[in-house]
Structure 1
């Protein structure tokens, strides 16, 4: 951002000099993303399926399978360009370098009270936040410039936590609570990552809620696993969810996690088997089933991570 330094000259004919270099080229817009990679955990088969996806009618096919015993929840760590995968049987996150080429194992992340069978993970700025079912909290990890992790605190009192989504634009955080609690917690996150409780949404036909996301047009989608549906919520200016219907059909069978592509296509993993349901949306945001495709050799699909670059 340029700051003008104006001389103390009063009058109508004064104009500040140009600060643009002579013959400078016109600015060019940032390049549009061209690579879209989807990582899907398969706890039953002990692997992570990697897909290159595109806006086409073609059914995506995995281009790589990464073996991880009890793979449950993947996340991309952008500042280090690493893939982290949480395991069902162990209280660790397995690290992989070069996740978009041939992934290479690069150690583990543990500590901070992290237990086995963790829920979804997400990046909040440059920190990793993990739903920690064993501790009824969300565990936070920071990474130094060399990639060394350290615990950075936790968000307490989150019983039966499952999904987590950070709306970076509005600094809102949503966490789903499953299995008898059946709620969605809403938090505000300051620029310094100070967390404040905002609201609790429960009772509105939520039944074992798992994955969630905020759409580009301002709705909150929640994978309502036991109801085989996606619950829709409009968000107020402050980010509080207001019930707004549901999406059903198209093979939804214990829907587990959700991701949305830059072209507004919804991918949903079905935890009862090895399929992914896809939906598109028209200008009025009405959902249309696209397909329900099988992931080869999949057993129990769980959490996903979508990387766009």
Structure 2
């Protein structure tokens, strides 16, 4: 029984981490002509000389102008795995919904979403099939943190919708080589306080990199964003290529890349009551992961920065 319990909880942990990575990387475009295409030109230069911390944060926070973002036709790539095609809707600050399948003509295989109260995920083909969910206010104080160590709010930030809370703790800017600045921040997460190194372009204020570590040096995630495009109608820039690593150096480590063709910004999202509701799938029970006992063995143990040197 202990072996089955360990296998069950490890399976859930792996599924959740995989789906989080997929969602982080699937804020992508589709071939609709109404969608904003990439390569829309460069934005105005954001800084004349070295900016203050407040000026740099203000440039980063222009993404708050994006209230809703829709996409479809994503092509997520990972070594040794089939390409996953996905479509996604985001409504700031907490709402997102991603569904995915292997091909255009196949049924939904993955459903991952969040509303103001809870987050959920469903994978059609998995060892322990169910709709797994957790309330946001239970993530940091229950067993759910064993399966989902990264705050769900970080999902939208990882793909470019970054927000630096003026009331939060931030340091910088620190000038780097190659036309970049660094901002260092701290914020709470289900795994404890997290430090974030954010690398920002010194001309346009684009977020180029984000690196998250725990207080003890354990690495949670690293993201690199590139091929930014400026959308004059909305006054924001968004990346069209995202590379991400989750839990590098652990048994659950994941690395993905996706190239983004187009975005639809601040348009009607459709029937909100259906989009933001916990889904029901015939034959799949709904399981609250905050009530699942944590794994007795095999919990992830990320390498510290010192161990990698």
TM-score exceeds 0.5? no
More strand by share: 1
Structure number with greater Rg is 1
Report the TM-score, using the length of structure 2 for normalisation: 0.29
Structure number with higher relative contact order (C-alpha < 8 Å, ≥ 6 residues apart): 2
TM (normalized to structure 1)?
A: 0.29
Kindly indicate which of the two structures has a greater share of residues assigned to helix.
2
